[in-house]
A and B are shown apart, each in its own frame.
Chain A
Amino acid sequence: MLNEDNLKRVDELRKRYPTSQALMLPVLWMVQEQEGYISEDSMKYVAALLHIPFGHILGVVSFYTMLQKNQIGKHHIEVCTNVSCMLRGSEKILEHIEQRLGITVGETSPDMKWTLSEAECMGSCGTAPMLAIGDEYYENLTLEKIDKLIDNLK
């Protein structure tokens, strides 16, 4: 299932850790980057690759919020609503995005373009309010900035 490049990376990673179980998170990240999410079949594949029981992998995948068990939208918008962002108006930001996209928190748009989540503090408190799409942070948000961002991604 993992492509050749990624399998090479797995071999490199094996040198970094004394056990193959320690490759769990790096390999699950690889699967998610390649496939978009971690399906049950992928978990079975990782179980065979790392010689770890499937149940253990399921336990890990279900523990970490960033690991997706289901397919999500092309753009995963995560809006921080924790204290520092809340004090600077994240509630309005979230409401505005819900209106613009026509979905509520936790939902994926029917065309699989957007998934909207509420996130816990992402370490951007000095530039609050903020949201993240993938690895990219969008900070010091205003409603205008959000409109522009969504228009650009459409």
Chain B
Amino acid sequence: MNIRPSDIEQLKAWKRVIIPDDRDLYKIDYYLAHGGYKTLKKALEMKPEEVIDEVKRSNLRGRGGACFPTGLKWSFMPKNSDKPKYLCVNGDESEPGTFKDRQIFEYNPHLLIEGTIIACYAMGITAAYIYIRGEYGKWIKMLQKAIDDAYANGLIGKKILGTEFSTQVYIHRGAGAYICGEESSLMNSIEGGRGYPRVKPPFPAQIGLWGCPTTINNVETISNIPVIISYGWEWYSKIGSSKHPGPILVGVSGHVNNPGVFEMPTGEPLLEIIYKWAGGVPGDKGIKAVIPGGSSTMILRGDQLEGIRMDADSLKVAGSSVGTAGIIVMDEDTDLIQVITRITQFYYRESCGQCTPCREGTDWMFKILKRFQRYEAKREDIDLLLDVANNIEGNTICALGDAAAWPVQSMIRNFRDEFEQRVQASRLQEITH
């Protein structure tokens, strides 16, 4: 039986492991005194394939949005390679509505570093690059301090903890491009190019950074590794939903009384997250719509939230996805035309321009949506908008084309009445002026 802490007693008993209450963990002496880097020692005493096996059996799935099984991804890395192998830790965190990795950099940076070194050991990697978005200058400094401290204590570098294993950990600072959170674009950015996504296959495990085998994992994913190795896969796989287990950092923003990042087991009911964890909607207003996992995920109607849980399977059934677990709540007074116009403007601005459907399509969708916003929309604009979105989806190199199409498609599917009302209002305005 899996633990479901939505039961109040269990909720109280839920001990946070990724971002504990303890606010001194960023200090290396304190972290070491409280069991820090003991898991690294434990991992280094295991065989690399045993570490991978442990991660595989834990059922950990990537926390960056795609929910890909982490252990499986690791097992794609060639065991014998005459080329160096690399790890990229993705801390680009630029999906609107997402602000979780930042908490790890600030409150538990050594957990991330420990996980990074363990991942390197498991895959035989000698250099890891932690890619962090350029805007996080302050958090880059915090993490760099933690890395320097770890180097000074012999935890990174040559012959770690007296073993034969050596690896380096570096931070690479981005410079303000949403697309660089896409893994192949991230690699091009590290290599010193424009952040253009690459065609897959070949996958990074074969041809990645500088043509070498590479694994890319999200910051939160890597931070789960020491937890798995420390407590064991059996313990870990019982937390939350069995097919998508473990602790998850859920961000709640928008119209809630208590916005923030909450660590909880996967599979918590969406409504309980909004009402219990995030304190409900200001003014006790009703919920019109919810974006469950960052702005790229399909929008849900407020009246269809009952029974939806915060895990990959439940949200898939509900017609959306868990994404980066960044929930955006919109109350009954929200102008959804304004919301979707702003979201589309974001994708229009951030499209890297490599694929025509995305580059031209996002511009076109934004133009049509501005007509709705200005009360100049015609009835056929609704289907035109949908047609453009449908022609972006699946027709681009990377998934961010889909990410631009899904919000528009789901908004029309779930809130067609809002678009139709705007068309009516547009006609009325035309007549009266």
Contacts and interface: CB of A to CB of B under 8 A. Distances in A.
B346 A82 contact: yes
Contacts of B168: 16
Interface in A119-142: 119-128, 132, 134-137
B93 interface: yes
B252 A121 contact: no
A60 B98 contact: no
Interface string B155-173: 0000000000000101011
Interface in B90-106: 93-99, 101-102
Nearest to B254: A87
Given A18-B210, A21-B192, A83-B254, A123 B94 contact: yes
B339 A86 contact: yes
B194 A59 contact: yes
A16 B175 CA distance: 19
B195 interface: yes
Interface residues of B, number: 57
A127 B176 CA distance: 20
Interface stretch (A25-33, A98-106, A145-153): A25-33
A29 B328 contact: no
B269 interface: no
B97 to A, nearest CB: 5
Contacts of A121: 94-98, 295, 346
A135 B138 contact: yes
B177 interface: yes
Contacts of A60: 192-194
B135 A81 contact: no
Contacts of A28: 175
A18 B191 CA distance: 9
A22 B191 contact: yes
A126 B261 contact: yes
Interface residues of A, number: 42
Nearest to A16: B170
A120 B178 contact: yes
Contact of A125 (B175, B195, B251): B251
Nearest to B294: A121
A82 B96 contact: yes
Most A Cβ at <10 Å: residue of B175, B176, B251: B175
B99 A126 contact: yes
Interface string B192-213: 1111000000000000001000
A128 B178 CA distance: 19
Interface string B332-371: 0010001100110010011010000000000000000000
A86 B338 contact: yes
A69 interface: no
B426 interface: no
B16 to A, nearest CB: 16
Contact of B135 (A23, A26, A87, A132): A132
B259 interface: yes
B260 interface: yes
A125 B192 contact: no
Given A60-B192, A88-B254, A132-B135, A125 B210 contact: no
Interface string A1-38: 00000000000000010110111111011000000000
Interface of A: 16, 18-19, 21-26, 28-29, 52, 56, 59-60, 63-67, 81-84, 86-88, 119-128, 132, 134-137
Given A120-B94, A123-B135, A136-B138, 4 more contacts: A24-B192, A52-B192, A82-B295, A121-B346
30 contacts: A18-B210, A19-B192, A22-B191, A25-B172, A26-B172, A29-B175, A56-B193, A60-B194, A64-B174, A82-B295, A82-B346, A83-B342, A84-B97, A84-B253, A84-B254, A86-B338, A87-B339, A120-B350, A121-B95, A122-B135, A123-B98, A123-B133, A125-B254, A126-B99, A126-B252, A126-B253, A126-B259, A126-B261, A134-B137, A135-B137
